[in-house]
Amino acid sequence: MRIRKGDRVQVLHGKDRGKSGDVMRAIPSENKVIVEGVNISKRHSRPRRGTMQGGIIDKDMPMHVASVAIVCSNCGPTRIGYRQDEQGRKLRVCKKCGGDL
């Protein structure tokens, strides 16, 4: 999976198409990501010891990684490519402009 925690992404499919946000959590085993402020659903919660107040809370739900695209600072939403630097480290690069991500 090429998208990591902390990446700025834009939603390509679904009810929140066009919105962008930072990846709060990546779940590689399920090919899903949780994006801040996107794909929010209402969840009913009972009062627990930790939270004495129950009710309806807004929760960010996971979405498939194919539904988001990483945002390049130069050219906008793009795909990710790879190249190696002089020390042999693997770097992520933008497929449109070739700049580092």
Beta bridge partners of 38: none
pLDDT of 48 strictly over 80: yes
- Where does 8-45+58-94 sit in CATH, by number? 2.30.30.30
Instruction: Identify whether the C-beta of residue 53 lies closer than 8 Å to the C-beta of residue 80.
Output: no
Please state the domain extents for the chain: 8-45+58-94
Residue ranges in the chain assigned as alpha helix (H): none
Q: Which pLDDT score is estimated for 50? A: 75
For 20-45, the pLDDT digits (tens) are 999 999 999 999 999 999 999 999 98
Q: How far apart are CA 60 and CA 45, in angstroms?
A: 14
Q: Which of 15-24, 47-56, 69-78 has the lowest mean pLDDT?
A: 47-56
